[in-house]
Amino acid sequence: MKPRMLALGALLLGACGGPPPPPSAQAPVPATAQAPAGQRLRDLVEGWYEDYLRLFPVAATFIGDHRYDAELAVPDAAHAAAARALQQRGLDGLAGIDRAALDPPDRITWEVFAWARRSDLENDTFPGRLLPLDQFNNPAAFFAQLGSGQVVQPFATVRDYERFATRMSRFPTWVDQVIANMRTGVARGIVPPRVVVERLIPQVAAITAPSAEKSIFWQPIAGLPKEFPAADRARLTRSYRDVIAGAVLPAYQRLLAFLRDEYLWKSRTGIGLADLPDGAKWYAFLARAYTTTDTPVAEIHATGLREVARIEGEIAGVMARAGLHGSTAGLAASMREDPRFRYPSAQALLDAYRQQETRVLATVPRLFSLVPKTPLEIRAMEPFRARSAAAAEYYPPPADGSRPGIFYVNTFDLPARPSYQTETTFLHEAIPGHHFQVALTVENDRLPRFQRFGTWDSFASAPDITTAYIEGWALYAESLGDELGLYTDPWMKLGSLFDASWRAARLVVDTGIHARGWTREQAIDYLLAHTALTPTDATAEVERYIAWPGQALAYKTGELAIRRLRTEAEQALGPRFDPRAFHAAVLEDGAMPLAVLEGKIHRWIDTTKRAGAPGT
């Protein structure tokens, strides 16, 4: 998941319009100083989020709030200033609210909000806005997904169509500002590695088209509802043809020409963030922000090495029990090449995941009492982004329940999608991983909106301070395979262990690239030596770390934290420990920094011990 909702931050096109409104515009009337602390906190964060949605209208669309579906504007200096003011206003508002006077859920809200505002303000001291595009965080590609009608932009009414036509008319201004930002980056020596631009170019090229009718943006017109009046159908068809051919496609062509003819030649040969001005300081911040810990980069690297060695020891044990001989690296190489583990078709790959869904859902009640109502849809990834995307991704559902959570399966290069990764990938991206955690959060209307839906600013590449929790939960979900009755096939178990080694190797490789001067080839070789990734996936992974510094550190860091908290709970509660109650405690208040989660679980353990029965 990109978005991750980490991964959603990567996918979301954080755009705003015009000159932006003052941060306080249309905010709810603040509560009086005499109001209870909890009420003042809720008024603060809800008012802040209302301003945030106005400033980032595509974020509103993403969460199912369609008031701003026509809005889109430029990531210019005025918008950056408005975003800074909004972050500072939120932090200033907390100063007058006594955390000690809050009940436990409101205390969590206070702590998560404070973490996020401080992180975003510190992020703004670095020039992320000048690096607005990469192959994993590509708002231009996400705009094409919006235009396809297959994700979050609604196309159910005539008004829906009119709104997106207006949003498309504003896209050229967005493109021109993004190009201007990248040119400013060139002038300041803040440019991406060449491999990043090389991967961006085909993504943008795939969206360009010779005519409106052959573009992805024509799909909503091809599917115009028959119940629309004939006059509206004709008018919308004309307006879409005009705006796609006259505005949208020329904007993509300008962006493509800039990337191919100018930006590529200004990009850098080095791949580490430390190569940029203040890059080492920038990377240290990203490591703290994504892991929500103060662990030094060198210690993160050492933890990765230890975890890789530990997991390789487990792999050796499975090999011995299965009668397999040789080294773990040799086994990984043979698994990558073995035709037994290859799917014969894209449909066979999709079918395998659908079978996993049926199997896992049957066993979930063993470990979970709290499950989402929202269904899951398994869908093939769109061809225009599959070549350089991950093996799978999860898209969350909107709050209005109009669409399920989507588990995207990458069917490009089938030999790179081995069957021994199927169980682990499903547990991570779908059930009980991202789909359980994210859908439960979206469904929880007790939470303030900023906790239910998150915030994203892809222009500033602002790190999401809930990434370690979200991705840590997904890795922890992978580790539940044995308890859920999976991994009975030794090859699936080996696949899960090699995936675990891969996530540990991320700590080594990401820090190696951005803090220790590793080359792209050195990083790929390390992954191939210590994981069962195919060369295609190992290359895509390394290029992801190059493009997205620090984000990959969150996964293993979060998993280790959740596993440690479970061990503490098991030891403290003894026979009264109930995994269903523990999982509910972890999931019920949404995503949060790891330090906030630790405090919450410690309080849950104390409450459960005093109650003399498992908590719920």
Tens digits of per-residue pLDDT, 17-73?
333 333 333 444 444 556 899 999 999 999 999 999 999 999 888 888 899 999 996
Place of tokens 């994981």: 531
Asked whether the beta carbons of 516 and 304 are under 8 A apart, the reply is: no
Nearest partner of 88 among 98, 78, 80, 76, judged by Cα: 80
Nearest partner of 430 among 375, 386, 482, judged by Cα: 375
> What does the pLDDT read at residue 388?
64
Other CB atoms within 10 Å distance of the CB of residue 31: 17
Listing DSSP states for 107-172 in one string gives HHHHHHHHHHHHHHHHHTTS-GGG----SSS-HHHHHHHHHHTSSSS--SSHHHHHHHHHHHHTHH
Phi, psi dihedral angles at 499 (to 5 degrees): -65, -40
Tens digits of per-residue pLDDT, 309-368?
999 999 999 999 999 998 888 898 888 889 999 999 999 999 999 999 999 999 999 999
Phi, psi dihedral angles at 609 (to 5 degrees): -65, -40
Percent of the chain whose pLDDT exceeds 90: 79
Phi, psi dihedral angles at 276 (to 5 degrees): -85, 160
Amino acid at 199: R
> What does the pLDDT read at residue 614?
52
> What gap in Å lies between CA 413 and CA 505, rounded to an integer?
23
Asked whether the beta carbons of 547 and 137 are under 8 A apart, the reply is: yes
Strand 376-380 to 392-395 pairing? unpaired
What are the distances in angstroms from CA 78 to CA 49, 75, 84, 133, 175?
Answer: 19, 8, 10, 20, 16
Q: Classify burial at 577, counting beta carbons within 10 Å of its beta carbon; exposed 0-12, middle 13-18, buried 19 or more.
A: middle
Tens digits of per-residue pLDDT, 360-401?
999 999 999 999 999 999 999 988 778 767 788 998 887 777
Other CB atoms within 10 Å distance of the CB of residue 104: 13
Residue 402 has pLDDT above 90, yes or no: no
> What gap in Å lies between CA 314 and CA 324, rounded to an integer?
13
Tokens of 312: 């390789």
Other CB atoms within 10 Å distance of the CB of residue 100: 6
State the maximum Cα–Cα separation within the chain, in Å, rounded to a whole number: 72
Tally of residues, the chain: 616
Which is more confident, 38 or 454? 38
Asked whether the beta carbons of 197 and 186 are under 8 A apart, the reply is: no
Which is more confident, 247 or 397? 247
